[in-house]
Amino acid sequence: MFENRPDRDAEVVLLGRSNVGKSTLMREITGHQFNTGGKPGVTRSPNHYDWASEDFVVTDLPGFGFMSGVPGEQREQIKTNIVRYLEEHAPNVLAGVVVLDGKAAIDIIDRHTNEEEIPHTVELYHLLRELDIPAVLAVNKMDKVDDADERLDDVADRFGLLPPWKQWQDTIAPITAKQGQIEPLEQAVRAHLEAAKRDDLKKFF
């Protein structure tokens, strides 16, 4: 399932729990329609979108976490595949975008935090950092959040970034993908492409 990556040097990946809006965001970035569904776990294998004339691909990796009708073993396998994919392609990944549901993310993180367990999204974010992949937290569905600054400060805090969140605008990007409001994410990704000396790719964001 994870073997169909196009032979491209540069890559931006989207990651996150099921049903946070990754496929909708992918559609906004690429202008290309992907299968999105109200049911978690629609994307089970990576969606790659590459531009024929450019040595570049955007990849929407499968969602993880609870999926209705998907056995726990299979959910774990998806997570393992995501980690392996990142480890294998890390030198080529210019940005890893962890997509969060702005309304639910803090509750989910806090619910899964105990002595033995780090929440999956926090773990993934730190994995990106360990692999030297520039990480961006795309906090989606912000149209459903009343206290935006407070919520984004909480996000910063849970991911080990000292609030206020506004000092992390290359890392924390509040968006509403469904309404096409993704400019903060585009700016953050462009900053990382610039840092990688890939100004040629900034036109895609």
Q: What is the pLDDT of residues 180-203, one digit of tens each?
A: 999 999 999 999 999 999 999 999
CATH at residue 156: 3.40.50.300
Which residues have C-beta within 8 Å of that of residue 74, sequence separation ≥ 6? none
Residue 5 lies in a domain: no
Residue 1 lies in a domain: no
The count of domains in the chain is 1
- CA atoms of 148 and 204, how far apart (whole Å): 27
Burial class (CB in 10 A: 0-12, 13-18, 19+), 48: middle
pLDDT at 96: 97
pLDDT at 75: 74
Q: Determine what percent of the chain is predicted with pLDDT higher than 70.
A: 86
Q: What's the pLDDT band for 52 if we cut at 50, 70, 90? A: low
pLDDT over 50 (residue 42): no
pLDDT at 167: 97
151 closest CA partner among 111, 102, 188, 108: 102
Residue 174 lies in a domain: yes
Residue 156 lies in a domain: yes
Contact, 100 vs 20, CB < 8 A?
yes
pLDDT over 80 (residue 65): no
DSSP 125-189: HHHHHHTT--EEEEEE-GGG-SSHHHHHHHHHHHTT-PSPGGGGTTTEEE-BGGGTB-HHHHHHH
- CA atoms of 68 and 20, how far apart (whole Å): 15
pLDDT over 60 (residue 1): no
The whole-model pTM stands at 0.90
Whole domain around residue 112: which residue ranges?
Answer: 10-204
pLDDT over 70 (residue 47): yes
pLDDT at 111: 84
Token output for 162: 């000292």
CB atoms within 10 A of CB 71: 9
Q: What's the pLDDT band for 74 if we cut at 50, 70, 90? A: confident
Report DSSP state, residue 73.
H
pLDDT at 15: 93
pLDDT over 60 (residue 37): no
pLDDT over 80 (residue 48): yes
DSSP H or E segment with residue 47? strand 47-50
Residue 84 lies in a domain: yes
